[in-house]
C-alpha cells in the first residue's frame, strides 16, 4: 500500500515537472514578447522563483538511485565494478571490470560514476541548495537539500578519494567550469558539519516538502528526516574509525537514541513500470528484455555464505533460470530452491583458457551451462522494484560495531536487531519477499552473536544486507576488512591479488580539467586503484 502511494506520488510529481516547466516557459515567452517592445529585459530570462523547488527534490532523489535515465552509472560502475569487487556479483564478461580488476584507466567503467553523478545528482542537489537558500517558505526543503547533497558527495569521495567538492556544481551559479579537487579529509569535515547542522535545523512547524520521494507519505515527515539525518551522520562518522576514532566515537555518543528505530524509518524510492524516468535503475542498467543479463551472475562467495548458513534470504534474492533461457523469455520455469543455487566464481573468463570457464560450452568449473548459475531473483530484480537508500538494518550494524569498539550500547542487541531488520525489510518487494518470524528466530538461534568474533559477524551481516547497495558494501569492507574475501589473480589485472581500494578518476575530466586532475593524482602518488584514500589507512 505504501509503495502504491509513493508510486502515485512519483507519477504525479513527474507530470507536474513537465506541466510546470511548460507553463513557465509559455508564460515567460508571452511576457517577454510583450515587454520587449517596452523594455530591454532579456526575453530568455526566467526567474527561479517561478519554479517549485520541490520538483528538483524529486529529480535529485531519483537521480541518486542511479543517475541518468539509462542508468549507465549503475551498470558500469556500481554493478560491473564495485559489486564484483565486493563479490556480490561475478561475470565472465570483460564488461564487468570489477570481477578481475581489468581495464585501462581510460576505459569508461571506472570513471563512469564520476562522469554521470556530477551532471545529475550533484548538479541538482547543489541547485536545490542554492535556490532555497534564505527562502522561509523552503526552510525544511533547504535543510533536506543540504543532507542529500552531503550524501551524494560522501558516495563519490568514497569511490575516488579526493574529488571536486567546494567548487563542484557551480558552473551555472558561479561560472566555475574547472573545479579543483579537495582533500577527502576536508570534505568529510564539512560533510559532518553540514549534516549535523541541517538535521538540527529541521523544524516540525515549517514547510512539508511535497516533492519528497522518501518520506512525504509518512505521518511525521520531518521527524523521519531527523532520523534519516542522524543515521547518515552515524554512517559518516563510522567511516572514520581507522583514521580518526576519537571523532567517530564522539559523534556516535551524541547520536545514541536518535537514529532509525525500525524498518518504518527506511528511506525508500518506489519506481514506475517501464518508464525510463522512473524505472528501477539497476534493472534498467543491466536487464535485457526479460530482465536478465546473460553475462552477470551472483558471486559464489555470496551464494555460499547464504547456503552454508541456511539463510532464509537465499530464495528471495537468488534464482536459477532454465538451461535454455535467453533474453526476452518468460523467466518462469527456473528455480528459487536453495539446493539449485550455484554462484559463479569470481575471476573466470569466457574462453577455454587456463583461467577456466566457457560460457556455453564445457567445461566450466562445475556446471555445463552458464544459465545454471544463480542470478538475482525476479522478486527483487524487476522494473518496479523499490530502491533502499538508507535503512534501519544498516544503522543497527553500525551501532553494533560502535558498541563492540567502545562499549557504547549493547552489541548483541544491535546485532540481533540488524539481522532481523535485514530480513524483514525484504517485505518491501512484495509478499514473495516476506520472511517469517519463525524463520528469523531459527536463523538467530542457529547463529547467535559471538563476541569473540564480533567485528567479523557484524560487518559480514552488513555486507549481506547491502546486496544491490554496492558502493556502501565496498566502502564498509575497506573500512573493516570484512567479510574476509579472497582477491582475484588474473592476467591483465590492474591490481592482481589485491581488491581495489578506489577507482580511477574520469578520463574525461583528465582531459578537460587537466591541471586540477594532475594535482589530485600527484597528491596520492598517482591515479591508481591500489592507492588508499584518507580514511582507508592500513
Distance CA 502, CA 536 (A): 10
Of the listed ranges 8-22, 79-93, 188-202, 266-280, the least confidently predicted one is 8-22
Q: Does 37 or 439 have the greater pLDDT score?
A: 439
* Tens-place pLDDT, residues 483-538: 999 999 888 899 989 999 999 999 999 999 999 999 999 999 999 999 999 999 98
Q: Does 330 or 94 have the greater pLDDT score?
A: 94
Please give the pLDDT value at position 104.
81
Here the cell at position 32 is 517577454
Asked if pLDDT for residue 387 goes beyond 50, the answer is yes
Average pLDDT, the chain: 86
User: Which residues are 390's β-sheet partners?
Assistant: 267
Average pLDDT over residues 170-195: 93
Please tell me the pTM assigned to this model: 0.89
Here the cell at position 92 is 565472465
Distance CA 210, CA 218 (A): 11
Average pLDDT over residues 100-119: 89
The C-alpha angle with vertex 271 and arms to 58 and 335, in degrees rounded to 5, equals 155
Give the phi and the psi of residue 294 in degrees, each rounded to 5: -60, -25
* Tens-place pLDDT, residues 28-57: 333 333 343 333 434 444 455 557 899 999
Average pLDDT over residues 307-311: 98
Average pLDDT over residues 231-245: 98
Buried b (16+ CB within 10 A) or exposed e, 321-337: bbeebeeeeebeebbbe
- Model confidence at 325, pLDDT cuts 50, 70, 90, reads confident
291-295, 472-476, 487-491 — which one is most confidently predicted on average? 472-476
Asked if pLDDT for residue 15 goes beyond 80, the answer is no
Please give the pLDDT value at position 160.
98
- H or E element at residue 212: none
- Model confidence at 67, pLDDT cuts 50, 70, 90, reads low
E strands within 83-164? 89-90, 163-164
Asked if pLDDT for residue 205 goes beyond 60, the answer is yes
Here the cell at position 73 is 552509472
Q: Does 274 or 143 have the greater pLDDT score?
A: 143
Asked if pLDDT for residue 63 goes beyond 70, the answer is yes
Distance CA 330, CA 320 (A): 13
Distance CA 54, CA 100 (A): 42
Amino acid at each position: 500500500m505504501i509503495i502504491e502511494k509513493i508510486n502515485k506520488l512519483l507519477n504525479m510529481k513527474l507530470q507536474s515537472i513537465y506541466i510546470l516547466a511548460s507553463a513557465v516557459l509559455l508564460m515567460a515567452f508571452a511576457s517577454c514578447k510583450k515587454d520587449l517592445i517596452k523594455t530591454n529585459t532579456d526575453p530568455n530570462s526566467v526567474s527561479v522563483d517561478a519554479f517549485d523547488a520541490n520538483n528538483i527534490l524529486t529529480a535529485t532523489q531519483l537521480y541518486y538511485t542511479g543517475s541518468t535515465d539509462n542508468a549507465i552509472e549503475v551498470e558500469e560502475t556500481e554493478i560491473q565494478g564495485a559489486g564484483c569487487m565486493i563479490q556480490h556479483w561475478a561475470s565472465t564478461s570483460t564488461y564487468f571490470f570489477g570481477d578481475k580488476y581489468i581495464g585501462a584507466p581510460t576505459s569508461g567503467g571506472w570513471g563512469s560514476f564520476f562522469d554521470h553523478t556530477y551532471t545529475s545528482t550533484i548538479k541538482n542537489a547543489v541547485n536545490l541548495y542554492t535556490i532555497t537558500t534564505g527562502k522561509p517558505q523552503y526552510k525544511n526543503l533547504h535543510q533536506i537539500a543540504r543532507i542529500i547533497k552531503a550524501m551524494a558527495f560522501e558516495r563519490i569521495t568514497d569511490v575516488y578519494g579526493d574529488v571536486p567538492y567546494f567548487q563542484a556544481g557551480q558552473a551555472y551559479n558561479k561560472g566555475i567550469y574547472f573545479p579543483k579537487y579537495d582533500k577527502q579529509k576536508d570534505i568529510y569535515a564539512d560533510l559532518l558539519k553540514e549534516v549535523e547542522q541541517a538535521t538540527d535545523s529541521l523544524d516540525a512547524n515549517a514547510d512539508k516538502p511535497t516533492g519528497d520521494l522518501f518520506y512525504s507519505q509518512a505521518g511525521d515527515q520531518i521527524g523521519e528526516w531527523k532520523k534519516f539525518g542522524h543515521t547518515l551522520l552515524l554512517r559518516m562518522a563510522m567511516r572514520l574509525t581507522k583514521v580518526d576514532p576519537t571523532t567517530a566515537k564522539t559523534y556516535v555518543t551524541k547520536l545514541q537514541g536518535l537514529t532509525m528505530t525500525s524498518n518504518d524509518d527506511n528511506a525508500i524510492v518506489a519506481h514506475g513500470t517501464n518508464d525510463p524516468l522512473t524505472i528501477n535503475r539497476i534493472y534498467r542498467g543491466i536487464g535485457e528484455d526479460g530482465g536478465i543479463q546473460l553475462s552477470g551472475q551472483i558471486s559464489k562467495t555470496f551464494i555460499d555464505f547464504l547456503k552454508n548458513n541456511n539463510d532464509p534470504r537465499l530464495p528471495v534474492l537468488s534464482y536459477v533460470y532454465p538451461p535454455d533461457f535467453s533474453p526476452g523469455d518468460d523467466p518462469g520455469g527456473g528455480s528459487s530452491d536453495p539446493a539449485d543455487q550455484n554462484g559463479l566464481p569470481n575471476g573466470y573468463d569466457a574462453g577455454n583458457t587456463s583461467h577456466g570457464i566457457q560460457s556455453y560450452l564445457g567445461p566450466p568449473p562445475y556446471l555445463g551451462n552458464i544459465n545454471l548459475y544463480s542470478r538475482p531473483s525476479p522478486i527483487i530484480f524487476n522494473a518496479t522494484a523499490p530502491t533502499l537508500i538508507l535503512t534501519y538494518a544498516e544503522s543497527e550494524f553500525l551501532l553494533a560495531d560502535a558498541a563492540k569498539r567502545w562499549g557504547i550500547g549493547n552489541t548483541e542487541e544491535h546485532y540481533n536487531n540488524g539481522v532481523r531488520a535485514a530480513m524483514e525489510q525484504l517485505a518491501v518487494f512484495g509478499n514473495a519477499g516476506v520472511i517469517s518470524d519463525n524463520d528469523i528466530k531459527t536463523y538467530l538461534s542457529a547463529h547467535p552473536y559471538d563476541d569473540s568474533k564480533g567485528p567479523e559477524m557484524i560487518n559480514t551481516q552488513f555486507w549481506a544486507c547491502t546486496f544491490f547497495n554496492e558502493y556502501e558494501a565496498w566502502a564498509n569492507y575497506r573500512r573493516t576488512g570484512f567479510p574476509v574475501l579472497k582477491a582475484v589473480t588474473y592476467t591483465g589485472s590492474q591490481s592482481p591479488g589485491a581488491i581495489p581500494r578506489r577507482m580511477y578518476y574520469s578520463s574525461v575530466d583528465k582531459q578537460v580539467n587537466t591541471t586540477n586532475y594532475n594535482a589530485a593524482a600527484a597528491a596520492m602518488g598517482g591515479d591508481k586503484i591500489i592507492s588508499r584514500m584518507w580514511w582507508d589507512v592500513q
